[in-house]
Amino acid sequence: MQDTSPHASPASALTLIAARWVIPVIPRDVVLEHHAVVVAQGEIVDVIPTSTAVERYPAAQVINLPDHAIIPGLINLHTHTAMTLMRGLADDLPLMTWLHDHIWPVEASVVSADFVRDGALLGCAEMLRGGVTCFNDMYFFSDAVAHAALQSGMRAAIGMIAVEFPSAYASDAADYLTKGMALRDTLRDESLLSFCLAPHAPYTVSDATFERIATFAAELDVPVHTHLHETQDEIRDSLKAHGVRPLQRLKNLGLLGPNLIAVHAVHLTQEEIALLAEYGCHVAHCPTSNLKLASGLAPIHALMQAGVNVGLGTDSAASNNRLDMLSELRLAALLGKLGANDAAAIPARQALEMATINAAHALGLDSKIGSLEKGKRADITALNLGAPELAPCYHPLSQLTYTAGREHVSHVWVDGVLRVNEGQLTGLDVADITARAGFWRNKIIQART
């Protein structure tokens, strides 16, 4: 088998990606040895043994990855990509102090369309190099996030954010929603983009706005992406202001259903877990952010046992401080075992599903992405498992979850287009992106003095 350069072939050509292991996610708990994923026009047209693929597709460009595992592209189910420019700005603080005294004042001073574009490009560069092909975003100037994602060649679910307070982006909740809807109308034909309604949180969104969002969600059939039950303070404040816990408030307002993506979902009673399951809601689990802000340990195993679909997210680089889904995958598995007091809880297979097919399902994209199946879009990540720190490899799926890191990501395809080749970004000016990050660092320092 002769290797050819991935750059030699456009996305429309027939490409055969041959790997030591293919982990398709669907079927579940399957590892295929010496298999190939065949791609044409950005679509997976076959997943078959390499020897068969070479005979069946003699004209295909062959990319040989002899020490690699290939998996579906990772999906970051919750992030605020532009906040990558605030990485390390205010560490070691509880959530509300972090927000009120540091993040929100900086946002009021410096956030603009340019800030969001540059921050989103920085975040996209980091995520691509870590094997992420799709992210679900919530932030101001969502048009800038959308264009950064398109420039990066990433798939993105763009949040149509809503909060009650004014910003440089919008004057009030109605203005936020109007701008979000207009953006969706403008970019609805972009195949790499989808949209979510993104009310920030129960403590920043009024009943009237939530009711409007429930109506829009039903009319448009789009996900509703919101922070929920992240801290005990949030729950106490809701009881004081509304007489009910946040989840019950959303139920009363008509928000519970298969469109709801509840971010964090740390503090839940058994009854609330059953309620999320009953209504077919999804949870975006952000283990590192939950730990760093001391929000708590989310009952992930109990949620999944109840039938709630759980995906993985990083949250922002300001509260994580990495957009590193492979780290989240490992941590989710370990914390899931600890929370359940069961070493068999959240096995490697399930952790990978949380970062792929489960997240795709939450976004309504599971017919397109989230697994390596014939007919799906070719969002593919390859990891080199031949490094000495990964040897020996008995079980590739376990090795991927518990040992490999983003430094082992070698190739990334989004919609069949190679976006990372041998660890290097193919379509972004890394020097310029990094220089812009330095520019905004200086602006933020000046704003805080």
What the chain holds in terms of domains, given with CATH numbers, is 6-72+380-414 (2.30.40.10), 74-362 (3.20.20.140)
Kind plus residue range of the DSSP H or E element containing 63: strand 61-72
pTM more than 0.85: yes
332-to-20, 127, 346, 352 alpha-carbon distances in Å: 26, 18, 8, 10
Reported as a pLDDT band with limits 50, 70 and 90, residue 302 is very high
User: What does pLDDT average to over the chain?
Assistant: 96
Residue 348 to residue 329: CA distance in whole angstroms: 9
* Matching residue, tokens 């100037």: 141
Residue 177 to residue 119: CA distance in whole angstroms: 22
pLDDT at position 39 over 80: yes
Reported as a pLDDT band with limits 50, 70 and 90, residue 12 is low
What is the DSSP annotation of 83-149?
A: GGGGTTSS-S--HHHHIIIIIHHHHHHH--HHHHHHHHHHHHHHHHHTTEEEEEE--S-HHHHHHHH
For residues 239-248, one letter each, b for 16 or more C-beta atoms within 10 angstroms of the residue's C-beta and e for the rest, the string is: eeeeeebbbb
Sheet with 224-228, strands from edge to edge, namely 74-79, 132-137, 155-162, 193-199, 224-228, 260-264, 282-285, 309-312
Residue 82 to residue 99: CA distance in whole angstroms: 15
pLDDT at 359: 99
Reported as a pLDDT band with limits 50, 70 and 90, residue 3 is very low
Q: What pLDDT digit, counting tens, does each position of 121-167 carry?
A: 999 999 999 999 999 999 999 999 999 999 999 999 999 999 999 99
